Every structure is written in structure tokens, then in C-alpha cells.
Structure 1
Amino acid sequence: MTTASDKTILVVGTYDTKDDELSYLSGRIRAQGGGVLSMDVSVLGDPKAPTDISKHQVAAAGGSTIQAAIDSGDENVAMQIMARGAAMLARQLHTEGRIDGVIVLGGTMGTDLALDLCAALPLGVPKYVVSTVSFSAMLPPERIAADIQMILWAGGLYGLNSVCKSSLSQAAGAVLGAARAVEPPKRDRPLIGMTSFGKTILHYMVHLKPALEARGFEVAVFHATGMGGRAFESLAAEGAFACVMDFATQEIVNHHMGSGISAGADRMTNAGRRGIPQIVAPACYDLVDLIGWQPVPPRLAGRPTHDHNRLLTSTILTPDERREIAGVYAEKLATATGPSAFILPRAGCNEWDRPDGPLHDAEGLAAFCCAMEQAMPANTTLHSLDCHINDPGFCQKVLEIFDDWVARGIVIA
């Protein structure tokens, strides 16, 4: 049986202003039998007692000094120095096997640093951020690590109290428990990253996942509603995939149209830039997902909508907007440095846009297909199909391309 003492948690924060809170958190981890390695990311002040990793070590790892950070006279510049150093040291500590998880405390400054630190650690390393701004819209999707965990730090702005202790004690148990329980990715089979939505609107993963697994591959399906696409892009940027099947690309539309449900500006680019073989399709290209409990933006008012639930509402694009989106897709495809294929199902790209569906628009579909065919970049092979994306013909074409790539050694089994 694994004992708690086998697990050491890196506890990170500004020990000059949050020494009491960080010490309380560390004490709760130790009370459960865990180990603690402390890292101070302060700039101006000093902790009550020395930490395992001092602020001077952090600044040096960030290519600077504490004095230089102070002399900058800019708290943003200073914290970015500390963020670079903290991320570098955390990665080094994990590589050396000295830490099993990390937890960072902070407000906006500490959370800004925490995002860099967590992004520097691989999938499967428990990463907890206890923040006064957890889940806030201030946090840009492109900076969210694929498996980051956040806990809202209620009553945590200044000093200890019974309210913030409730958050901190839960956080201590969460990060130590995660370090004990985590099953990191095995990497014993090549991994395929696929994007999709639920089976009510897209069906292809139901057939493709077992078919690809039978070929010796592991398949991870990402829910492309903002954060799922972000996790997909994060792993693609790390080179985690042997091949990607990026079929639910609606997050690009959301971002382009200003929706809050975004996976970031780099959506549908990281696999291509890494040279990872990619098969792309335009599932739900015609929809803009909106936050369901907010008013529909004026520019999108008066259009047909579908209320998926109280969190999510979808509306459709005009034919001109669909032509515009075809150009956006083409620009992203053009950045690919590896094999790239685009499958265009000319009969429709989600269940709601079938002829009897609530969001069907034959003119809009035709406009998009024509624009997509005209805009397709030279580095991407276009496969135009006379079927719907939920028809068997789509999956057959995916497997045909994939099997050819495997046979040619483009995708390594």
C-alpha cells in the first residue's frame, strides 16, 4: 500500500503577504502525512521563515534578479520574471522526481503566475490553483493547462478566517489525494485526438472510436465547447497525438463571432504547426454557441436558435458569414506543416441542419461548401462528399484516409 509520505506537494505563493495562509495549507498537507516543498514567489517582502526555494532562486531561474524586478517599478514586469522562474523550477523539480503535485495560492497576481507554472507541467501531474478569481472570465482559454484544477478561495483576500480555511483545507486534501490516486497517461498505444459534441448532434465518434481502437490506437474525444477544445490544443502543442481528427471546429466560429465560449485564437493550429497528421471537418461550422443565461448579442438577434440547456444556446450564421468562416478555416489549414486533409460533407454538418431540422439553411450550406472549395489551401487535400457528416459515408472516408496514412508510414501504429 502506498503511504502518504511517498507524495510531496510543491506549495507556491507570495510568502511575504500570505505566509499564514500558505503555512496553514502546508500544515494540512503534512497532517495527512504528505510532504511539502515550499516556493516563495514574493518580490518586495520576505517570509517569516526561509522557504525551500527562495524568491532569489526563482528570479534567477527567470533570468533576472529580485533587485531588477524591484527596480523595474512595474508589478506586472516583476511578476512575469517570477512566473518564468517558477515555471522553469517546477518543471525541473518534476523531472528530477522531487514533487508529485503542485498547489498555488493567489489573487490575480498569483493566478497569473500559476497559469504559467501549471502549463509547464505534463498531463497527469496534479495541478491545483486556489484563487480568489477561479473560473473568472479574466482567465484566457489559451493559458489553461489541460488538466488544471481550480478551487474558489472564498474569503481569501487577506488573512486567515474560518471561511477561507474551509477552502484551504479542502484544497490540501484534494492535491494530496490526487497525487496518491492519479493514473498518468500510459503512452503504451499511439493516441488520436478527436473533437466532437454529444451524440444528439454528432454521431461519428460512436463508430470511429472502436474502429480506431481495433487498429491498435487509443482515442481521446474532446468536448469542443471552449475548455474541451483548449485541452485538445494544449496536448496538440505538446505533440501528444499521433494523429488528430479535428471534426468539431465550431469553437473557431465562436471566437471569430465574439462568443464567450472560446478555445482561444490558436484553435485548429497547434497540431498543424507540430507537423501532426490532421484530418479536419467542419462539424457545426454554421452555429455560434452562446452562453445561455445571457442575452443574445444584438448582432445575432432575430435568428433561429436552439436552446441546448440553460447554459448553452446556439444560433446560426448567415450565408455571407459562412463564406467568411470558410476563409478563416482556410487560413488556419494553411499553417499546417504536416499531412493535412479536409473532409467536406456537402449534405450537412450537424443533426440540426438536416432538411427537417430546426436550423436547416440550404442556401447557407451551399454558400459555405462553395467558399470552402475555393479557399482550400494547397497544403491540404480536399475530400468533398455527397453525404451528411452523421452518415456512414463520412466515417468510411475518415478510415480510408487514416488507413492509407498508416500504410504509408505517415501515422505510426
Structure 2
Amino acid sequence: MPEPVNFMEMAAREKQKTSSTGRTRFQIKGGERETLIYLVGTSDTKAEEIIYLSNLLARPGVEVCSVDVGTRGLGCKMDVPPAVVAGHHPDGADAVLGSDDRGKSVAAMAGAFAAFCGTHATQIDAIIGVGGGGGTSIISQGMRELPYGVPKVMVSTLASGDVSAFIDTSDIIMMPSVTDIAGLNRISRHILHNAAQSVLGMATHPYVAQNDMKPSVGLSMFGVTTPCVTQISASLEDQFDCVVFHATGTGGRSMEKLLGEGMLGGLIDMTTTEIADEIVGGVLSAGAARLDAVITSGKPYVGSVGALDMVNFWAPDTAPDAFKDRLFYHHNANVTLMRTTAEECARIGTWIADKLNRAAGQVVMLLPEKGISALDIDDGPFWDPDAQAALFGAIEQNLRATDTHQIRRLPFHINDPAFSAAAAEAYLSIS
């Protein structure tokens, strides 16, 4: 087996071909310290790119820590070798590096790197990774363990496709590598240069919090409930930092993750449409764990049934054949909405009630009698009194009213300013 090449020696040789400008240190909490950027890759296959990035990142006031997540053991020597990362796997380094099955090794290294990032999260000012399929899977799993706001740049051969599996609810920035990551060339040098400058800019000019003195509240919104949530935010913005999430699956998961981590003080969950997708089989489900953070956090919760009249699919031909005779509304060329039936609405309402019955904190559930979306309005395309009756009835029959759990019917449409005012007042009364 060939001897690993010394990373620092290779970096020194490459530096002669790489220009960089100096940057002064920045102030943190009244003192001066270096910005620590983690540079991550698989040195067994991406050594040239890692070295090139290392030299681009090196400047006064910036410390670069190179982390090797390779599984083949034939790369250059980096600051943190694969064995150290692999040692963070719950079953030890052998579970990562002892297998001849590359797929198993990559999956195990991804878990080990996630644990590594979790352990070192408070030290990392920014992180940049470079990889193909395996490297992207490993590095992005670790990046997802870092707090929101820590700059995360992933240069990947997969970044031009569906990257939801890599980003999930995190704030990773995926940058397409354009060419394969298989040695430096006139294209890859330019792309990597831009990636390095972007992470440097974010790391050396950190965000300064502006609204931390206000308590925070999360709100869920969809296009068909936008007037409702906009009006609530406007009425509460003087007292609360209103954080709005788009109810597209990822939005609901992100909102509840932040609630569970204590970064949100409560929820005004007007748009629970993701639950319809979970139960009926649409494409924008937030998963079966939707509302679980409400159960466990004990934080105040004002909810409603916004956009539960619809299930989401992509272009019209993506809707399953089983639904071919259903009522559809073509929101745009790429989004198709299907009206939920009375039977489906009853199941959705029962599901919501079962979850909220277990909520540890204060709950107010608001039911707008004149419609639950911009489409569900008298003479609108999704107006269906029978479906609404099934939904409301299931919630009222199954959600146990107590001193802390309330249900209120309101004689308004969900987008009526009077409904928004009632929702804001309900939150104020329990927060």
C-alpha cells in the first residue's frame, strides 16, 4: 500500500499556483479570535480539490481544519484523519473502516461524521465540503447536525438534482460542481474559488442578532392562507418575532424542530395542510411526526385547519391513477391540488385530535365556518359543506375540551381579518 502523501507538503506546492487576499480578524464578544472553518472531503479521491480549497481559505484571522471522511485509507494526511472521525461511530472505528462493502462503509462514516459534528459544533464557525455521491451523503449528514446559521457550503456533483435528501430541514447551501470532481481544471478551479469566497464571506462577517429581545412565535402558511397569516403577523410583530414557515413538508418539520429546540416560544399553526398529504398520500407531507413537538414541548399552540381541503401533487400526470376521478384544481403547471373527501377529512380531524389530546401545553383550536382556504369559499372550486362538516365534527368529537384545551368555531372565512384577529387574540391569551 503506498504511503499517504503529507497534506501540508502538497498544500505548500499548490499554494504557488493559488492567489488569495488577506483578511483582518473580526471581533467576537469583545475579544479577538480566529475564524475556524472546517474543510471536509475524502482525500482518497478528492485530494487536489481539498488542497486547492485549503489554500484559498488560508488568510490572516482564519484557521482551516481539514477533515478526512474517506473510507479507503489511501489519501493524503489531513488535520483530522478518517480513523478519528470513524471513532465517533457508536460501534467504534472498525464499524466504519473494517468493511469491504463500500456502501456500508459510506453509511457508517456518515453516521460517524454526524456524531463528530455534533461533538464539535460549538467550535465550528463555518464548514465547506466537496464530494461526489458518497462524499455528499457523508458530509451533508454531518452538516445537518450543526445549528442554523452556521455557514454550510457543499460543492457536489449532485447539486443540480433533487437535493432534499441532503438538505432536509437544514440551511446547507448546495453548489453544483458542474464538472466531475476528479482533478482540477479550468472549470473546477473557478467553481471551487467561488465556493471558498462564499464561505469566507459568511464566516468572517457573521450575522448579528437583531430581534432576540422579542419572544418568538412560529406560523405556518400556504398560498391559499397567506392573507390570514400575513394579518396575524402584522398584528403581533410589535410584541413577537414572527417566524413564518411555508407548509410544504420541510417547512412543517423545520418549524417543529425549532419549537422542540426552544428557538420558538410557541406556534400559531393556521395551515395544517401537510397532515392531509400525510394521510391521503400527497407530495408535501411533513411526516407522521407532525405535531409531536407540540405534544412534548409544552409551548402554547393555536391551531386551525388551513388548506386541509387539499392534497398536493406535482404536474397533473403525477397524480396516482387511483385518484383519476377526483376533483382537481391546477394551481400552476407544476402543482396540482386535489379536493379532500368527507371520509378523508374525518380521518384527518381524528388524527389531529389524537395528537393534540396529548399536548402538554395550552391548546386553542380554531374552526373557520365559512371556509378553510382561498379555494374553499362559497361558490369556490373546493367549497364542500359535507367535507367541512366531517372535518369539524371529527375534531369536536375527538379533541377533549379541558381547562387547557379549547375548540372554538368562528363565523368567518380563514382569510377574513376578523378570523386573523381572533387567532392573534387567542395566542396572546395563552402565551
TM more than 0.5: yes
Pairwise CA distance, 1:228: 2.5
Match of 1:25 in 2: 53
SS at match of 2:219: strand
Does the alignment pair 1:228 with 2:228?
A: no
SS at match of 1:8: strand
Match of 1:312 among 317, 335, 339: 335
The residue type paired with residue 238 of structure 1 is: E
Distance across 1 between alignment mates of 2:66 and 2:125: 13
Pairwise CA distance, 1:244: 0.8
Q: Is the 8 A contact 1:322 1:368 kept in 2?
A: yes
The count of aligned residue pairs is 400
> 5 Å matches for 1:137-176?
137=162, 139-140=164-165, 144-156=168-180, 158-176=182-200
> 5 Å matches for 1:312-391?
312-377=335-400, 380-391=405-416
Match of 2:270 in 1: 247
> 5 Å matches for 1:107-146?
107-134=132-159, 136-137=161-162, 139-140=164-165, 144-146=168-170
> 5 Å matches for 1:213-224?
213-214=237-238, 216-224=239-247
Match of 1:36 in 2: 64
Pairwise CA distance, 1:342: 1.5
Unaligned runs of 5+ in 1: 406-410
The residue type paired with residue 202 of structure 2 is: A
SS at match of 1:25: helix
Distance across 1 between alignment mates of 2:427 and 2:107: 43
Pairwise CA distance, 1:201: 4.2
Pairwise CA distance, 1:220: 0.8
**Structure 1 residues 27 and 243, CA, compared in 2 at 3 Å: closer, same or farther?**
same
**Structure 1 residues 249 and 184, CA, compared in 2 at 3 Å: closer, same or farther?**
farther
The residue type paired with residue 215 of structure 2 is: P
> How much is the aligned-residue C-alpha RMSD, in angstroms?
2.9
Q: Is the 8 A contact 2:301 2:427 kept in 1?
A: no
Does the alignment pair 1:260 with 2:283?
A: yes
**Structure 1 residues 293 and 11, CA, compared in 2 at 3 Å: closer, same or farther?**
farther
* Residue deviations 1:246-281 (CA, integer Å, cap 9, x gap): 111112222333333333332232233222221111
Does the alignment pair 1:189 with 2:217?
A: no
Q: Is the 8 A contact 2:219 2:270 kept in 1?
A: yes
* Residue deviations 1:282-328 (CA, integer Å, cap 9, x gap): 10001112213753322232433333333322221121111122223
Distance across 2 between alignment mates of 1:158 and 1:41: 17
Unaligned runs of 5+ in 2: 1-21, 27-33
Match of 2:424 among 390, 399, 402: 399
Distance across 1 between alignment mates of 2:357 and 2:158: 37
Q: Is the 8 A contact 1:79 1:113 kept in 2?
A: yes
Distance across 2 between alignment mates of 1:197 and 1:203: 10
TM-score normalised by structure 1 residue count: 0.86
SS at match of 1:17: helix
Match of 2:293 in 1: 270
Distance across 1 between alignment mates of 2:105 and 2:322: 41
TM-score normalised by structure 2 residue count: 0.83
Pairwise CA distance, 1:241: 0.8
